[in-house]
Amino acid sequence: MSCELKTEIKNIISEFNNPEESLIAILQNVQNLVGYISEDAVKCITELTGISSSKILGVASFYAGFRLKPIGKYRIMVCMGTACHVNGGERVADTIRRALNIEAGDVTEDGLFSWEEVACLGCCSISPAMMINDTAYGKLTSEKVVEILDSIRKEEATK
């Protein structure tokens, strides 16, 4: 059995004395490398450490910080904290769902966008809010959300 990421993952694993005890840290580093915990990465970790794929997937699926699917170039996080929920967070999520024609956790066909609902972004004073990569957007309306997405699409079209 071989995997595409063997050299990179071998380097990550070599940083730890006991891979089984350090599985979470290994998975974090692999996710930073690949963007998510891919099937290929699980295969490599199993091959290099002897840790079963079911244990690796169990850990990766238990912790919310791990992703088992790729994300888009623009990762959208829609806040569903109390302030955002009360002020229209669900409306923001519905607008994104319709505008991108994907469900939360999925990626657009062109790989440009993915989106997810998160517990809180810490942007309560500008609720409802979302974050796209490292930029927070607040006081959102459906129209504003569509304008932001269209602006990103236009910018990408000129690259």
Complete DSSP assignment for 76-145: EEEE-SHHHHHHTHHHHHHHHHHHHT--TT-B-TTSSEEEEEES--S-GGG-S-EEETTEEE-S--HHHH
pLDDT-derived band at 2, boundaries 50, 70, 90:
low
Dump pLDDT digits (tens) for 84-125: 999 999 999 999 999 999 999 999 999 999 999 999 999 999
Dump pLDDT digits (tens) for 4-18: 888 999 999 999 999
How is the beta sheet containing 130-132 ordered, strand by strand? 113-118, 74-79, 130-132, 135-137
pTM above 0.95, yes or no: no
For 7, list phi and psi in degrees, rounded to 5.
-65, -45
